[in-house]
Amino acid sequence: MYQIRTDLALETQEKMQEDHVELKGVRFLEQKIDKNLTISTVVIETENGAKAMGKPKGTYITIEALDMDEEDEDYHREISVQLAEVIKKLVPLKKEDVSVLVVGLGNREVTPDALGPRVADNLFITRHIIKEYGKYAFGEEKVNRISSIVPGVMAQTGMETQEIIRGVIKETKPDLIVAVDALAARSTKRLNRTIQVTDTGINPGSGVGNHRHGLNEKTLGVPVISIGIPTVVDAATIVNDTMYNLVTALTQSEAFSAIGSSLDKLEDAEKYELIRELLSPNLNTMFVTPKDIDESVKRLSFTISEGLNIAFGNGIMQGSHA
């Protein structure tokens, strides 16, 4: 079995099903909200399940919205409301008012990686106001204290993201961390159309092969919820999918059926390795992103920040998708 490069637990689970791998200790549930909106839950319950999936134990909830890449404000608001419900389901805090630190991971200068910083820009930040004037400054009995940080990337700061966050946690003592990051997907159809929310934390850069220290409850001492949208896909995966379609077409053609049949006999892993060798050395480290990524990231960052604003009850919608 070869490892597909994806940050989405749902895609790993689908690949296991395709390969008829029996997944013990992993539960899967799918809920169709409407024809364009599906919420899938993958729960990894055991260490064996975690090993098979290549992901930590925990709950992974995926919102798939087919039209999420469209400019439809009402539709995006509906997704924000669904996202808020998912966040509330995963947040392990029962206090009346909580202190939440939102961490916008990624590089503001690289558009496909700018989702986290953009989400932080659009949040309704309240911690400083409550600290100065108390919660009644908002005329509410219950106001969560929201703060945010954009730690940048190691090349900009010379520091591990984890080091920066730990320093901030020590000073501000939040009850919960929400980490927002751009992800890598296996399927092009999921780019900019999928939101994954998980209670397992996150490994910054893992989708594109840059392994950094993880941000999770074990490393930070505070519960961590992570939210991500896939904005890039591995070039080798795109070629792999194209090859699959080509082989299917060749086997159905009288003239080329022999070539198609011989390629079809290769295992998935062998096909994938063949592609990586053919792409090497120039393309096999390449990641591909849609051409309208600028507008997509701008729009999706509003969708996530509104979801967070709703989830933590401060309920003030910031900005618009225009």
**Over 50: is that where the pLDDT of 278 sits?**
yes
pLDDT at position 221: 92
Residues with Cβ within 8 Å of residue 262, at least 6 apart in sequence: none
Separation CA 167–CA 82 (nearest Å): 33
Separation CA 69–CA 294 (nearest Å): 11
148 pLDDT tier (thresholds 50, 70, 90): very high
Which residues are registered as beta bridge partners of 234?
287
pTM above 0.85, yes or no: no
Domains of the chain by start residue, with CATH: 9-93+178-237+284-311 (3.40.50.1450)
| DSSP structural state of residue 210 | -
Question: How much of the chain, in percent, has pLDDT values that exceed 90?
Answer: 31
**Over 70: is that where the pLDDT of 257 sits?**
no
Q: Please report, as a single letter, which amino acid is at residue 4.
A: I
Tens of pLDDT, residue by residue over 194-252, are 999 999 988 754 444 455 578 999 999 999 999 999 998 877 777 767 777 777 777 77
Nearest to 222 by CA among 181, 173, 179, 172: 173
Tens of pLDDT, residue by residue over 157-188, are 788 888 899 999 999 999 999 999 999 888 88
Place of tokens 């890598």: 184
